[in-house]
Amino acid sequence: MSKLIIVTGAAGFIGSNIVAGLNARGVTNILAVDNLTKGDKFRNLVDCEVADYLDKHDFLDALQAGAFDGKVQAVLHQGACSDTMEHNGQYMLDNNYRYSLALFEFCQAHKAQFLYASSAATYGSTKVFREEPEHEGPLNVYGYSKLLFDRVLRQRLSALQAQVVGFRYFNVYGPREQHKGRMASVAFHNFNQYRAEGKVKLFEGCDGYPNGGQLRDFIYVGDVVRANLFFLDHPEKSGIFNLGTGRAQSFNDIAFSVVNTCRRHDGLPALTLDEMQQKGLIEYTPFPDALKGKYQSFTQADVSALRAAGYDAAFHDVSSGVDKYCTWLLGRG
């Protein structure tokens, strides 16, 4: 039998999509690792095939006891606390940093590939999103927990015994994120608001941006999976790479695509953004005080390092990605 591929956070958003992506290749010798205290996440794995499942604490104990020595091809480490409003730094660093470090050390000792989720939150309020220390300055302890581990990789990069790749995910959206609550994507929340209330609510302008005009690099989860699998296929490539589209688009763009996809589904004609605003289909609410000074009003991945590593696949733009996602949501009733 082929060696095991371990996916942590396997019942989560990106993790479950990676499991589905591996299954699409015919790969099923997968150990799914997660914390199912919030049991509804199981739904993300119902249509996936895995060889086994372990709770994240049991997995780490088994790993350190030698249960997986010599049996692992790769660890795709997606498990983390991704709540940017979580203020418990002790929990965040234990969960996101120490856990990652333990997996990293195991993979180095046993020459297994280690692909892990970093985050664009490592950059903070910079206007340059390039994988270099001078552009990094996280605004919250989540971003710091990710940066701290990225620094470990940088320190060890020249002496690696096996591949290590960190992906700085930008704003990922797409299927299998329904369990994330308020941390789910803008597209998910816009879709549910529109179906429930007939309108979408966005923040008013801030930091010099107009209403709904804040800009983010929104990336479709299918593109994230494809990039992970590319590096899995190329174990000779290591490093930290931005994973965004390289093109910032506005929150208005997301809402516009959500509304028109839903209108098409309902047999209604497409509208312009102005028409949506005039009809009250898009509303703007005051910017929350709790987010002031902790909010990235602009993100745009510099993908030159990713391209230089040989990854040349095209990315979905907001129009095509959100259309695909909303169509999937509508198909689920």
The one-character DSSP state at 178 is: G
Counting Cα atoms < 13 Å in the Cβ hemisphere of 181 gives 6
Q: Which residue has the tokens 């290749």?
A: 25
Residue 41 bears catalytic tag = no
3-state class of 316 per DSSP? Answer: coil
Q: List the catalytic residue out of 71, 180, 294, 324.
A: 180
Distances (CA, A) of 325 to 14, 31, 224, 316: 14, 27, 14, 11
Residues 6+ apart with CB under 8 A from 108: 114, 156, 160, 161, 162, 164
Q: List the catalytic residue out of 142, 144, 173, 220.
A: 142
d(CA 115, CA 32): 15
Greatest CA span in the chain, whole angstroms?
63
Q: Do 148 and 93 form a contact (C-beta atoms < 8 A)? A: yes
Which is nearest to 321 in space by CA: 202, 107, 127, 175?
A: 175
d(CA 102, CA 114): 11
Residue 295 bears catalytic tag = no
- DSSP output for 214-268: -EE-EEEHHHHHHHHHHHHH-TT--EEEEES-S--EEHHHHHHHHHHHHHHHTT-
- Torsional class of 196: left (φ above 0), alpha (ψ -120 to 50), beta (otherwise): alpha
Expressed in angstroms, the distance from the first to the final Cα of the chain is 39
Sign of the CA dihedral with 140 first, then 321, 220, and 42 last: positive
d(CA 188, CA 307): 29
Which are the catalytic amino acids?
142, 180
